[in-house]
Structure 1
Amino acid sequence: MVEDGIFNTEMDTSVKIAALHAVKSVQASDAIDEQEDLFMEDLRMAASKDASYEELLHHVKSGFPNDRYNLPSTLRPYWKIRNELYNDGDLVLYGPRVVVPASLHRSILARLHDSHSGVEATKRRAQQTVFWPGINADIRNIVRSSDFFSVAGKHFLVYVDRLSGWPVVIPCGSNVTSASSIRFFRFMFHDLGVPVRLRTDGGPQFSSREFATFL
């Protein structure tokens, strides 16, 4: 049962930071980021610090070996598309898509999914902008997750009013089932009003028949 004083629950710094990231994700749009140049600089910096990426760049510039097994295992997934890779300065591109260093995969996935679209829509965004081997599987995994986040083994649900950006962060313990999610949402709808439209990441808690019936 959610306590009435939940909105006044004190959160430690790490929880607040995670909540702010979640709010930023909900509020983001498909507009061009004002800090795109800064992002590209971060991309180049990450590429320069990634030994595997540097080696990939070398092969793109100088040619791939005759046998894929002469490549390190980290570069073998690029073998089938080696003839479609080229470079723009110190970045590798695959068609119109920038090949992203491993250290930025997580942040790029968050950017791709900032509009909380489904799997196919998020894939389409990726197909216009970024690439790495296995990106489609990574997209499926992040889209099928939910609006829950975890800090120090504890789960929290983030509920945000899209118009005002006002967030509600609810500690859920280890209970993130459809039944518990319905209880949390019933509480919020009662306290904040029933929304015209509810958007989620499409996690199993929210895509279940039980949750659809509740809505």
Structure 2
Amino acid sequence: MVHQVSISEEKYKSLQEDTAKDPELNCLKSQIIQGWPENAKDVPNIIKKYWSMRDFLSIEDGLIVKNTAIIIPKSMQSLILDRLHESHQGIEKCLLKARENVFWIGMTKDVTDRVQTCSICEKNNKKSQQKESLLQHEMPS
């Protein structure tokens, strides 16, 4: 699964290293290996937010995977956002591209914020998304 994502060998190794350094993802890795407890209250606070997706998480080649998406460590999220948004295709296209390959908690908000604060996207959307004026029709007799 991990090797289906198009990523350079250098970035792949960097992703593995940053995942290993991330305290949240290290705790999550340990929890996946040990198995999840019966109750969410028994999960360490740092990874409680992953409780609802626990059945979809696995470890592959040193990376944590949710279904088919690699969980990105905090240190690389900005870089991934830049890569997702480099074509300036808007929120929906960026999210579609992101959800196929990567995941982190709050990714949708981060992508939305990045696109909405992009000056290039803002300039292009004003031109192509003009509102039409309301046309009145004659009332039938």
Query: Per the shorter chain, which TM-score range?
Result: 0.7 to 0.9
Corresponding residue number in structure 1 for 2:32 = 60
CA distance in 2, matches of 1:110, 1:71: 33
Q: Which amino acid aligns with 1:45?
A: E
Taking only aligned residues, the RMSD between alpha carbons, in angstroms, comes to 2.1
CA distance in 1, matches of 2:38, 2:73: 24
Identity %: 24
1:73 to 45, 60, 76: 45
Corresponding residue number in structure 1 for 2:23 = 51
Corresponding residue number in structure 2 for 1:93 = 65
Asked if residue 135 in structure 1 is aligned to residue 107 in structure 2, the reply is: yes
The structure richer in strand per residue is 1
Q: Is the 8 A contact 1:97 1:131 kept in 2?
A: yes
CA distance in 1, matches of 2:42, 2:21: 23
SS of alignment partner, residue 96 of structure 2: helix
- Deviation per residue, 1:86-138 (Å, 9 max, x gap): 11021110111000111111111111111111111001111111001110111
Unaligned runs of 5+ in 2: 1-5, 132-141
1:71 Cα deviation (Å)?
A: 2.3
Q: Is the 8 A contact 1:206 1:212 kept in 2?
A: no
- Deviation per residue, 1:142-185 (Å, 9 max, x gap): 011123xxxxxxxxxxxxxxxxxxxxxxxxxxxxxxxxxxxxxx
Which piece of structure 1 moves more, 128-137 or 60-69?
60-69
The structure richer in helix per residue is 2
1:53 Cα deviation (Å)?
A: 0.7
Q: Which amino acid aligns with 1:132?
A: W
CA distance in 2, matches of 1:131, 1:39: 16
SS of alignment partner, residue 46 of structure 2: coil
User: Mapping of 1:159-198 within 5 angstroms?
Assistant: none
1:207 Cα deviation (Å)?
A: 4.0
